[in-house]
Structure 1
Amino acid sequence: MQELTGISFIDLTDDQHQQLEAFEEQLLRFNQRVNLISAESEHHFRTQHLLHCLTLTRRDFPDGCTIVDWGTGGGLPAIPLAICYPEVTVVGVDSVGKKGRAVRTIARRLGLDNCYSWTGRAEDWDGEAHYSVSRATAPLGELWQWHRRIAIDLEGTPGDGEWQQGLLALKGGNLSGEIEALRAADSAVEVERFSLESLLGRNEFFGEKEIVAIG
């Protein structure tokens, strides 16, 4: 199996590398009976799914914080983030029961006691979180509404190299309409954008993809 060299922006232990490899194995096994990712993308899992999610590690999350992953699907990016940040609590929210059960089972098999799954509509989740993440789930304005409803403040201020509190959305394509609608709904919102191609180098898959940080 190809090593996961350079797949994260943070230093990972051998155990974390092994957990990421085990996650790949478990997800692909579940994918034979539960549609967690498209069958066509299975052979590109490490690039199109795992590396894509791990771009969120270009900045860190503070120890002790809670992250909610809206529309987690097969645990992307919830499970990779839980592996990379063992002192952080991650909750994957998805409306499809089979996906939620798969995420819960995979997390248990990987020994992740900081990763949870909740099944239901995002509007109905009654938890609290310091950060929200999402990967191709909903328009930015809708995601921001979900985040604002459940957001709580950190005890301290994020340090150097850590994400400011808010929403981190993995998005692609022309986002001008989504950002315009977001600003129309909340004129005080701050938006920061990071091109994945500038982070990872020229790549056909990442060409129009980016991280949108909203706070």
Structure 2
Amino acid sequence: MDYQILEQKLGELGIKQDQNQLERFHKFYQLLIEWNKVMNLTGITEYEDVVEKHFVDSLSIIKAIDLSRIHTVIDIGTGAGFPGIPLKIAFPHLRVVLLDSLNKRIKFLDEVIFQLGLTEICTIHGRAEEYARKEEYREQFDLCVSRAVANLSTLSEYCLPYIQVGGIFVPYKSGEIDDEVEQSKKAVRILGGNIKEVMKFELPGTDIHRSFVLIHKEQHTQKKYPRKAGIPAKEPL
């Protein structure tokens, strides 16, 4: 198998992968396309597009943080496994939890984990608001990531409760984010976070604009957050 496109695109990010890792990315692509025929996982199916818009996009977080200093990661609303699975393949030292509310997607992710022979990665099926109240998940992670589509105030209420004090929440956002960041500052503060930086860039070789919002967890999240399922989306803080 020729991994040239994958190697080149990851190389543009400054990521070098061995043969085993390249094979895992390719196998992930094959499973994504195969399962996508029977369930809606992604609208992006061309190999080069998946490499660019899913794999490279997921890994571009290395522009914002040093992953060698991160040990535990939770990916909230992971969908088809982005960014969690590419992060696990590229950085095997990470211990990763993938959370999604749709059981069909969890079954797909379990199959990917099995077929790729990944260890220290698991899935949980449920809502972010519910699992954030469980002791084994609350304030247990160095890093929380999410490519889920929700405004930053709502997403912060879903995600910040999972991060330990000293950890960081990094949502993947599209280019224009200034107003949304401004509107979310109060919510982030209430939840124990602090917006330190917004990193804007273009994905290598594309005109796709990305923003990473670096939210540091500085205080414990009050027990009353997150509120009951559905409320964070309907009534953002």
TM-score, with normalisation over the residues of structure 2?
0.76
Displacement, 1:153?
4.6
C-alpha distance in 1, partners of 2:188/2:82?
Answer: 28
2:7–2:16 CA contact under 8 A, matched in 1: no
Q: Could you tell me whether the CA contact under 8 Å between 2:156 and 2:188 is conserved in 1? A: no
- 1:60 aligned to 2:66? yes
CA distance in 1, matches of 2:165, 2:117: 28
Structure 1 residue corresponding to 2:51, chosen from 46, 56, 60: 46
Distance 1:96 1:112 in 2: 21
Q: Specify the code of the residue in structure 2 equivalent to 1:97.
A: N
Distance 1:193 1:64 in 2: 19
Q: Residue 35 in 1 paired to residue 37 in 2?
A: no
Runs of at least 4 residues off by over 4 Å: none
Contact 1:191 1:214 in 2 (8 A): yes
Structure with bigger gyration radius: 2
Q: Which runs of 5+ in 1 are unaligned?
A: 155-164
Asked if structure 2 preserves the Cα contact closer than 8 Å seen for 1:94 and 1:118, the reply is yes
1:16 — aligned with what? Answer: 21
Conserved in 1, the CA contact under 8 Å of 2:153 and 2:184?
yes
Deviation at 1:96, TM superposition (A): 0.5
Other-structure match for 1:161: none
Q: Is 1:139 the equivalent of 2:151? A: yes
Separation in 2 of the partners of 1:140 and 1:25? 33
Deviation (angstroms), 1:63 = 6.0
AA at the equivalent of 1:131: L
d(CA) in 1 for partners of 2:67 and 2:3? 27
Native 8 Å contact 1:134 1:168 kept in 2: yes
Distance 2:83 2:9 in 1: 14
**Contact 1:131–1:166 under 8 Å retained in 2:** yes
1:146-177: CA deviations, max 9, x gaps?
A: 332121257xxxxxxxxxx3111111143233
Q: RMSD of the alignment, in Å?
A: 2.0
In structure 2, the residue matched to 1:78 is 84
Q: Check 1:194–1:186 CA distance in 2 against 1; reply closer, same or farther (3 A cut).
A: closer
For residue 201 of structure 2, the aligned residue among 176, 191, 196 is 196
Letter in 1 for 2:51: R
Q: Tell me if the contact between 2:70 and 2:142 (Cα under 8 Å) persists in the aligned partners.
A: no
Q: 2:40 is paired with a residue of what secondary structure?
A: coil
Amino acid at match of 2:56: L
Question: Do 2:128 and 2:159's aligned partners in 1 also have CA atoms closer than 8 Å?
Answer: no
Q: Which has the higher strand share?
A: 2
Q: Which amino acid aligns with 2:211?
A: E
Provide the C-alpha distance between the structure 2 equivalents of 1:108 and 1:101, rounded to a whole number of angstroms. 11
Q: Secondary structure at the match of 1:193?
A: strand
Distance (whole Å) between structure 1 residues aligned to residue 195 and residue 70 of structure 2: 24
Residue of structure 1 equivalent to 2:161: 149
What is the CA distance between 1:143 and its match in structure 2? 2.2
1:170 partner letter = Y
Alpha carbons 2:75, 2:146 under 8 Å: kept: yes
Aligned equivalents of 1:67, 1:103: Cα separation in 2: 16
Change (3 A) 1:97 1:213: same
- SS of the residue 2:92 aligns to: coil
- Gaps in structure 2 of 5+ consecutive residues: 217-237
Query: How far apart are the structure 1 equivalents of 2:181 and 2:143?
Result: 19
